[in-house]
Amino acid sequence: MKLRVEESGASVVAQGVSAEHQSMPLEHVFWSHFSRNLGSSGWVIGVLAAALGLGFWWGLAAILVGNVLGSIPVAFCAVMGPKTGLTQMEDSRFAFGQAGTRLPSLINWLCCVGWDAVNNVPSTIALVALVAMSGFSAPFWAALAFLATLQLIASMYGHDVVQLLQKYLGYALLVIFGIVGAMAVAKGGSISPPAQPATLATFLLAVSLIASYNLGWAPYAADYTRYLPKATPSHKIFGLSFLGMIVSGIAIELCGFLTASKIPDTSPTALIKSITDLTGGFAPLGLFALAISSVAVNSQNDNTAAYSLISAGVKLPRWVSAIVTAGLGFLLAVVGAGQFASLYSNYLVVLVYWISPWVGIVLADWWLHRSGDTPYARGWGAGATIFVVVTLLTILLFSSTSAYTGPVAKMLGGTDIGYLVGFFAAAGAYLVWRMPRAASATMAYKELL
């Protein structure tokens, strides 16, 4: 694979990848989905599952179910990449229309800014602790700026450099987290008996947090498969995407879940200190892995953010969009570091409320067409209207967060099923609207033959 600097103009998003540039090795699909989960954010999710009061078997079930539910839609989205040659948000235009795609693209860009902060706060604390072990001191903002700069440089170069990082940092993180995770679990792998039996509400909330972490990558999926040759078998793309996400997701979240009894609270500082204590002489290696993990994930995040901002109608050069995203993420990390745990858990729940209906509509449309050459509306499509209506209704009726609990969630004792309702309601509504029209278009085409 020849390493290229990706184009910076809007055409890199608006137009599909040309056949001559679709030469990405298939193995990169696995690494681009595997590396993104290996980091402190995934470890924190395991700790949060334990903090909800789930015992071992309920917690294990939540991790397995959540990872499967969150990974399947992402893997299906990844299949679209080489067929259309488009970024994932631009793949929305077949259902949403060109103008309708701008709203979810803008939302996704804002979420990318949030992910920058989420991924960088624990990694920066790990880097500060690693520097302190060397007898020096580094302020939080300086360590954060160092990591953010590395991430930004990679994202400014674009797709090929980001994929290269996913592969080789993936190798390193796999080995280091394998050692560190095994040591941490060996010393801290005991689950304290819950004060009271797990309830359906707490189990489903844990599933929602875990699923949303993986599902949050759906708007990124085709971005990192679109450079594959168009003839790449879909089942191979799906399998490698799904395998990469579920293996790394389950492994890192189990590490968090099984060491939660040794972590006094869910703050990043407590997490880093506990991992340091549990790994003994390997602590510097663990801190190094936690620090560089954000480089792998946020280089991908900033690159997708640049694509999304262009799809939202902001015609900045791709590299400028990456700088804007990284800069805002830096500020958000500095401001929100002290409230990381509460902000993170609420962020994950809110995140899934817009992604579920969006991905339901995108996958429903793909199921109808399964190609990248279907026409799309230049304006606001029906899919965009369904997206707005379903998203608002599921938030108002089903959401269960510390800030707001909808009436249906209250009736269900705080049980959060909004993400499931949003997915199936949006997909179903789109299919009901679209299938008669798709059938009519097929008949008209046949009559012309």
Asked if 290 contacts 38 with a C-beta cutoff of 8 angstroms, the reply is: no
Distance, in Å, from the CA atom of 422 to the CA atom of 427, rounded to the nearest integer, reads 8
165, 181, 256 from 296: Cα distances, Å: 6, 18, 20
DSSP per residue, 339-373? GHHHHHHHHHHHHHHHHHHHHHHHHHHHHHH-SS-
Name the pLDDT band for 345 (thresholds 50, 70, 90). Answer: low
Reported as a single tens digit per residue, the pLDDT across 318-341 is 888 889 998 988 888 887 665 655
| Cβ neighbours for 95, distance < 8 A, ≥ 6 positions apart | 361, 362, 364, 365, 376, 381, 382, 383, 430, 434
Q: Where are the domains of the chain?
A: 20-339
Distance CA 116, CA 302 (A): 8
Average pLDDT, integer, range 251-255: 91
Predicted pLDDT at 131: 94
Report how far residue 17's alpha carbon sits from residue 155's, in angstroms, rounded to the nearest whole number. Answer: 18
Report CA torsion sign: 89, 95, 97, 101: negative
Please tell me the predicted confidence (pLDDT) of residue 44: 84
Whole-number pLDDT of residue 446: 42
The amino acid that residue 309 corresponds to is L
Output the CATH code of domain 20-339. Answer: 1.10.4160.10
Tokens 């209704």 map to which residue?
Answer: 393
Q: What is the pLDDT of residues 125-149, one digit of tens each?
A: 999 999 999 888 899 999 999 999 9
pLDDT at 436 > cutoff 80: no
Six-digit token pair at 127?
């880097």
Global pTM reads 0.88
Intra-chain end-to-end CA distance of the chain, in Å: 42
> How many Cβ atoms are within 10 Å of 99's Cβ, its own excluded?
15
Is 50 exceeded by the pLDDT of residue 309?
Answer: yes
Confidence band for 423, pLDDT divided at 50, 70 and 90? very high
pLDDT at 442: 46
Residue 63: what pLDDT? Answer: 95
268-280 average pLDDT score: 85
Measured CA to CA, the distance from residue 309 to residue 213 in angstroms comes to 21
Residue 231 has pLDDT above 80, yes or no: yes
Q: How would residue 443 be classed by pLDDT, with cut points 50, 70 and 90?
A: very low
